[in-house]
Amino acid sequence: MSHDHRGHDHHRHDHDKRLSTKFHWLFHIRKFWQSDVNRDMLALAAPGEGDRAVDIGAGMGPATVLAARRGASVTAVDPSRFMRTILTMRRPFQRARSRITVADGVAESLPVADASVDVLWTVNAVHHWVDLEAAFDELVRVLAPGGRIVLMDEDFTHPDHPLHASHHDHEAETTIVDVVAIEAALRARGLEATGEKTIGGGVPVKLIRATKPA
């Protein structure tokens, strides 16, 4: 009897946790539309006229729409049907809509041909990747010679991050983004790579930049 009772409490606890995660997410919805972190990432990735670009874990497309405006052709990849639906609804309102393609996929299996990408990036998605080694193989596979990569993930573990306290639980459940390990993994695959902890969009971020030799 007491066992059943504890089981019930446990269930409610999980449910409440899921609910609070959803509300937390809704609260930050503006950030999914446009964000300073995405802007600063794009300043580094610098997608330009005619570039073939991939936004991995594009979400609602804050980086995708800006990159398309800059003249790049962007494939926005995301495994979430919900995110893809929102971005697909957002696309017709973009002047650069003909340069935006929304695709189902994950970092570990990109719906993109070999050596066909000039610039790829990901913002706040590396911590969702489940198999980093497979994802790195994919980045190297799709990148054209001379192509570049920018991976930027907000560092919610940093005490200076404004959402440090509220992300504590969430972070514990996701992939750890280790800039030194990622730099080494990309170098081992023949890329020039640097990983660092720095500031992006005014908050602490983890940043990895890499290029494929021409």
Query: Rule CB under 6 A: which residues touch ligand SAM?
Result: 32, 38, 56-59, 62, 78-80, 83, 106-108, 123-125, 128-130
63 vs 96, which CB is nearer to ligand SAM? 63
58 vs 150, which CB is nearer to ligand SAM? 58
Least CB distance from residue 183 to ligand SAM, whole Å?
20
Least CB distance from residue 4 to ligand SAM, whole Å?
35
86 vs 96, which CB is nearer to ligand SAM? 86
Do 190 and 212 form a contact (C-beta atoms < 8 A)?
yes
Least CB distance from residue 34 to ligand SAM, whole Å?
9
Do 121 and 41 form a contact (C-beta atoms < 8 A)?
yes
Q: Measure Cα distances from 166 to 13, 23, 43 in Å.
A: 17, 12, 28
58 vs 102, which CB is nearer to ligand SAM? 58
Q: State both tokens at 136.
A: 């790195």
In degrees, to the nearest 5, what angle opens at C-alpha 31 toward C-alphas 96 and 49?
Answer: 25
Least CB distance from residue 204 to ligand SAM, whole Å?
16
Do 125 and 152 form a contact (C-beta atoms < 8 A)?
no
Q: Which residue is nearest to ligand SAM, using beta carbons?
A: 59
User: Which stretches of 28-52 are DSSP H helices?
Assistant: 29-33, 36-45
